[in-house]
A = this chain, B = another copy of it.
Amino acid sequence: MKLLEERIIKDGTVLPGGVLKVDCFLNHQLDIPLFCELAKEFYRLFADCNINKILTIEASGLGLASITAERFGCPVVFARKSRTKNLSPDVYSAKVFSFTHGEPYDALVSKKYLSPADNLLIIDDFLAMGEALTGLWSIAGQAGARVAGAGIAIEKAFQPGGDNLRKQGLRIESLARIASMDENGVTFC
């Protein structure tokens, strides 16, 4: 998607260690008018899939998931990263390794909010090693829910997560796919 690629080139910064910093529009400050355009594109891609629920994970995917759910007229369910007093003990869970924090966490979704009647679209802001997406796909599977696909804002296509999951049969639509990046800039697939 041209609009997103241009925005990454304009405002993204590549830090040493393979970190793409896009926190001025994607994951700390959220450019909601941009999100509306991304959501429109997700809707175009998945409009004929009878999506009845969006699945995402806290925190930064939640804004994009919510704006996308508005297009589909459906609710969002988000996986929590820690067990809180307010979450039912009756949960689906998946162990997810966070490369940002260097340690694993449990992604948790209450069993009340996913079922075999659901036809899900998974939304997230980033896809790199595919850890979070694998966890969400597993949680959907535990619930017997169907996953029509995953809509991702930015995929680091030079990391294996996306292609591994595609090989396993998951439809993934990434709006910007980065082929390579370094301090001199970003190139797209």
Which A residues lie at the B interface, using CB under 8 A?
19, 21, 23-25, 27-33, 35-36, 58-60, 62-67, 69-70, 73-78, 80, 82, 84-88, 100-101, 109-110, 112-113
Known contacts A19-B86, A85-B19, A100-B84; is A113 also within 8 Å of B66 by CB? no
Whether A110 contacts B28 by the Cβ 8 Å rule is: yes
Known contacts A23-B87, A58-B58, A84-B100; is A30 also within 8 Å of B63 by CB? no
- Cβ-neighbour of A100 out of B28, B29, B86 (below 8 A): B86
Q: How far is the CA of A34 from the CA of B66 in the complex (A)?
A: 12
Closest chain B CB from A140 CB (angstroms): 14
When distances are taken between beta carbons in the complex, the residues of chain B under 8 Å from A76 are 29-30, 32, 63
Q: How far is the CA of A24 from the CA of B76 in the complex (A)?
A: 10
26 A–B contacts, CB within 8 A, in A order: A19-B85, A19-B86, A23-B86, A23-B87, A23-B110, A28-B78, A28-B110, A29-B75, A29-B113, A30-B66, A30-B77, A31-B75, A32-B66, A32-B74, A32-B75, A32-B76, A33-B73, A35-B66, A58-B58, A59-B59, A62-B63, A63-B63, A66-B67, A70-B70, A85-B100, A86-B100
Whether A21 contacts B86 by the Cβ 8 Å rule is: yes
Closest chain B CB from A24 CB (angstroms): 7
Q: How far is the CA of A37 from the CA of B24 in the complex (A)?
A: 28
